[in-house]
Structure 1
Amino acid sequence: MLASSSLSASACAVLACAVLACAGPAWLLAPAIVHAQTPASEATLAEITVAADAPAPTAAGPVASPGYVGGVTGIGGALPTVDSASAGVITGAQVNNRPVTRPGEVLEAVPGLIVTQHSGEGKANQFFLRGFNLDHGTDIAIHVDGMPVNMRTHAHGQGYADLNFLIPELVGAVEFHKGPYFVRDGDFASAGSVRIDYLDTVERNLALTSIGSFGYRRALSIASAPLGEGHLLVAGEAQVYDGPWAVPDRLGKLNGVIRYSQGSATDGFAITGMAYWARWNATNQIPERAVAEGLIGRFGTLNPTDGGDTGRFSLSGRWSRTDETGITRASAYVIRYQMNLFNDFTYFLTDTVNGDQFHQRDSRVLGGGEVSHVFQGDLFGLPMENEIGLQTRTDAIRVGLFNTTNRQWRSTVLDDRVLEASAAFYVENRVRWTDWLRTSVGFRADGYYADVVSDTPANSGKARDGIVNPKLGLVLGPWFDTEFYVNYGGGFHSNDVRGVVATVDPASPLFNVARAPFLVPSTGSEIGIRNRSIAGLETALALFQLDFASENLFQGDTGTTEPSRPTRRFGLEWTNRYAVTPWLRLEGDLTITNARFSDYDPVGNRVPEAPTTIASAGITFGEGAGWFGSMRLRYFGPRPLIEDNAVRSKPTGVLNGRIGYNFENGISLALDVLNLTNAKADQITYFYPSRLPGEAAEGVADRHFHPVEPTAVRLTLAGRF
Structure 2
Amino acid sequence: MHQYIILSLSFFACLPLFGQSVNGVVTDEAGNSLPGAYVFWHAGDAHTHTDNAGRFDLPGVSTGDTLHISFIGHTGRDLIVPENANDLAIVLQSGSLDLREIVVGSSDRPQRIISGIDLAVRPVNSSQEILRSVPGLFIGQHAGGGKAEQIFLRGFDIDHGTDIAISVDGMPVNMVSHAHGQGYADLHFLIPEAIGAVDFEKGLYDANQGNFATAGHVDFQTKDRSGGSFVKLEAGSFGNLRTVAQLDILSGKNHNAYVLGEYKVADGPFESPQNFSRGNLFAKYTGLLRDADKLSVSLSHFSSNWDASGQIPERAVASGLIGRFGAIDDTEGGETSRSNLIVGYTREIDGATFIKNTFSYTRYDFELFSNFTFFLDDPEFGDQIRQQESRDIIYAQSVLHHNTNLGGTTVETRIGAGLRSDRTDDSSLANTINRTTVQNYIQRGDVSEDNFNLFADARFEFGRLSLQPGVRLDHFRFGYRDLLATEYTNASVNKTRVSPKLKTTYRLSPDSRLFLNAGTGFHSNDSRLANTSQISGMTPPAYGVDLGLETKLLPRLIMNTALWYLFLEQEFVYVGDAGIVEPSGRTRRFGADMSLRYQMTDWLFGDLDATYSHARSIDDEEGENLIPLAPRLTLAGGLSVKAQNLTSGLRFRFLGDRPANEDYSLTAEGYLVADANIAYTLGRFTFGVLVENIGNEKWNEAQFATESRLFDEAVPVEEIHFTPGAPRSVLTTLKLSF
Q: Which of the residues 456, 468, 483 maps onto 1:440?
A: 468
Which residue of structure 1 lines up, in the alignment, with residue 515 of structure 2?
A: 485
Q: CA deviation at 1:267?
A: 2.5
TM-score relative to the length of structure 1: 0.86
Query: For 1:214, what is the secondary structure of its paired residue?
Result: coil
Q: Which of the residues 709, 714, 720 maps onto 2:731?
A: 714
Whole-Å separation in 2 of the counterparts to 1:225 and 1:96: 27
Q: Which of the residues 362, 375, 380 maps onto 1:335?
A: 362
Matched, 1:412 2:441: yes
Which residue of structure 2 lines up, in the alignment, with residue 456 of structure 1?
A: 484
Change (3 A) 1:480 1:83: closer
Which residue of structure 1 lines up, in the alignment, with residue 167 of structure 2?
A: 143
Which residue of structure 1 lines up, in the alignment, with residue 61 of structure 2?
A: none
Whole-Å separation in 2 of the counterparts to 1:355 and 1:499: 28
Query: For 2:143, what is the secondary structure of its paired residue?
Result: coil
Q: CA deviation at 1:355?
A: 0.7
Higher mean displacement: 271-280 or 225-234 = 225-234
Q: CA deviation at 1:515?
A: 5.1
Which residue of structure 2 lines up, in the alignment, with residue 426 of structure 1?
A: 455
Q: CA deviation at 1:369?
A: 1.4
Tell me, yes or no, if the aligned pair for 1:495 and 1:516 is still in contact at 8 Å. Answer: no
Which residue of structure 1 lines up, in the alignment, with residue 668 of structure 2?
A: 649
Matched, 1:115 2:132: no
Change (3 A) 1:703 1:684: same
Give 1:659-674 correspondences, 5 Å limit. Answer: 659-663=678-682, 665-674=683-692
Which residue of structure 2 lines up, in the alignment, with residue 223 of structure 1?
A: 247
Whole-Å separation in 2 of the counterparts to 1:117 and 1:45: 43
Change (3 A) 1:226 1:98: closer
- Percent identical across equivalent pairs? 34
Which string of whole-angstrom CA distances, capped at 9 and with x for unpartnered residues, describes residues 633-691 of structure 1?
0111111111112221111111011012111x121100000111111011121112100
Which string of whole-angstrom CA distances, capped at 9 and with x for unpartnered residues, describes residues 344-376 of structure 1?
010010111111000000210001111001121
Q: CA deviation at 1:454?
A: 0.6
Tell me, yes or no, if the aligned pair for 1:85 and 1:528 is still in contact at 8 Å. Answer: no
TM-score relative to the length of structure 2: 0.84
Tell me, yes or no, if the aligned pair for 1:107 and 1:113 is still in contact at 8 Å. Answer: yes
Which residue of structure 2 lines up, in the alignment, with residue 250 of structure 1?
A: 275
User: Aligned AA for 1:303?
Assistant: D
* Aligned residues: CA RMSD: 2.8
Which string of whole-angstrom CA distances, capped at 9 and with x for unpartnered residues, describes residues 150-189 of structure 1?
0000000110011112211110000010000111111111
Which residue of structure 1 lines up, in the alignment, with residue 318 of structure 2?
A: 292
Which residue of structure 1 lines up, in the alignment, with residue 43 of structure 2?
A: none
Tell me, yes or no, if the aligned pair for 1:35 and 1:57 is still in contact at 8 Å. Answer: no
Query: For 1:106, what is the secondary structure of its paired residue?
Result: helix
Which residue of structure 2 lines up, in the alignment, with residue 193 of structure 1?
A: 217
User: Aligned AA for 1:707?
Assistant: P
Q: CA deviation at 1:213?
A: 0.3
Flag structure 2 segments of 5+ consecutive residues without an equivalent.
1-27, 41-47, 51-68, 77-103
Whole-Å separation in 2 of the counterparts to 1:569 and 1:87: 24
Change (3 A) 1:90 1:279: same
Tell me, yes or no, if the aligned pair for 2:204 and 2:216 is still in contact at 8 Å. Answer: yes
Which residue of structure 2 lines up, in the alignment, with residue 502 of structure 1?
A: 532
Which residue of structure 2 lines up, in the alignment, with residue 163 of structure 1?
A: 187
Query: For 2:119, what is the secondary structure of its paired residue?
Result: helix
Change (3 A) 1:438 1:515: closer
Give 1:443-592 correspondences, 5 Å limit. Answer: 443-457=471-485, 460-479=490-509, 481-502=511-532, 517-592=537-612
Which residue of structure 1 lines up, in the alignment, with residue 371 of structure 2?
A: 344
Whole-Å separation in 1 of the counterparts to 2:110 and 2:124: 27
Whole-Å separation in 1 of the counterparts to 2:479 and 2:124: 44
Matched, 1:44 2:68: no
Q: CA deviation at 1:85?
A: 5.0
Which residue of structure 2 lines up, in the alignment, with residue 685 of structure 1?
A: 703
Whole-Å separation in 1 of the counterparts to 2:472 and 2:571: 21
Change (3 A) 1:338 1:470: same
Tell me, yes or no, if the aligned pair for 1:495 and 1:554 is still in contact at 8 Å. Answer: no
Whole-Å separation in 2 of the counterparts to 1:349 and 1:189: 36
Matched, 1:326 2:357: no
Tell me, yes or no, if the aligned pair for 2:262 and 2:279 is still in contact at 8 Å. Answer: yes
Query: For 1:532, what is the secondary structure of its paired residue?
Result: strand
Give 1:252-291 correspondences, 5 Å limit. Answer: 252-263=277-288, 267-291=293-317
Query: For 2:193, what is the secondary structure of its paired residue?
Result: helix
Whole-Å separation in 2 of the counterparts to 1:293 and 1:343: 23
Query: For 1:694, what is the secondary structure of its paired residue?
Result: coil
Which string of whole-angstrom CA distances, capped at 9 and with x for unpartnered residues, describes residues 585-625 of structure 1?
10001100111112233771111111110111111103222
User: Aligned AA for 1:584?
Assistant: L
Tell me, yes or no, if the aligned pair for 1:87 and 1:178 is still in contact at 8 Å. Answer: no
Change (3 A) 1:372 1:238: same
Change (3 A) 1:85 1:201: closer
Which residue of structure 1 lines up, in the alignment, with residue 13 of structure 2?
A: none
Tell me, yes or no, if the aligned pair for 2:544 and 2:566 is still in contact at 8 Å. Answer: yes
Flag structure 1 segments of 5+ consecutive residues without an equivalent.
1-33, 60-78, 504-513
Greater RCO, 1 or 2 (C-alpha within 8 Å, sep 6+): 1
Whole-Å separation in 1 of the counterparts to 2:357 and 2:70: 31
Tell me, yes or no, if the aligned pair for 2:521 and 2:542 is still in contact at 8 Å. Answer: yes
Q: CA deviation at 1:88?
A: 4.6
Whole-Å separation in 2 of the counterparts to 1:548 and 1:361: 30
Matched, 1:402 2:416: no
Aligned length: 654
Tell me, yes or no, if the aligned pair for 2:249 and 2:259 is still in contact at 8 Å. Answer: no
User: Aligned AA for 1:422?
Assistant: N
